[in-house]
Structure 1
């Protein structure tokens, strides 16, 4: 295993997910390195296959998407790319909630909401939140459950104010990227974002 990537000395692996490894950067306080894998997954990781070149595609896509958001003034953890398959980010403690925004009804939404036709258009976009728990297939959570969990990350208690910020930011991110997709004659159907608190508590 390489001890440096893109000139950055690697520390220990902080966490390893289905498609990425996150490394500490001992010489750069408050930052970490995310290394993409040539791995594609589905169904909470039940289905997984190696796909050569996928890491570079993912890393390039990440850079382009975060570039759009950063230019629009959205505060993200992304700092810069450092190789074909890795990028530098702020080190954050992750809030274990997935924020899903939908423009059209499809997929799992239809299974959970029988009677809604395929392609039903949400205006404004539909928001849903899910607790990150692969073993239980990421159960849907309400605002009240999120607040009652009393999550505390890097000294920040997740309460109503933080919930409201995440709600507004999630819709804003969707609308910014929806417009970007439209310039390519593509439609953004739905998306998922996650939030974290960095070492400075932001």
Structure 2
């Protein structure tokens, strides 16, 4: 499976038809813990999943149904995220300053572009690749668990004035095993931010 076109609310996924050619319909399911929810059906080998929350992560499988109604085994899972929203009360800029074979230095700037001040903030994001991690940081408290990264202010940069009146900038040394793609979705105090 392959996620092709992604927007804040939609994602188009495609897959390869089974070798036996008996499929008359495909069903795309999303994993929700131990359950699964049907997101879409298609008679072709692609579909657009609509009305997804901006900046949300989804794991889907495709099953093929034959003319007798029998279902195939699920495909390998595909995990993808919708893109950041076009409008938000926060803005995040992520920049890789330098890199080498298995490491890099990055700077992240967080801006409050909403109407209300922020006093105390947390920022969450997910690494696109399982080989990425944070080794050390400055100007914020950065912790990681698997592909998830959690950042909290350091006290001195806890207040963010409204409408871009102030920003918080922090940095970190990261490690990467292979590719080092830039994270696409950042959440500030539970709000999905715009990115630049």
Alignment TM-score, normalising by the size of structure 1: 0.25
Choose between structure 1 and 2: higher strand proportion.
2
Q: Larger RCO: Structure 1 or Structure 2 (Cα < 8 Å, ≥ 6 residues apart)?
A: 2
**Higher-Rg member (1/2):** 2
Alignment TM-score, normalising by the size of structure 2: 0.25
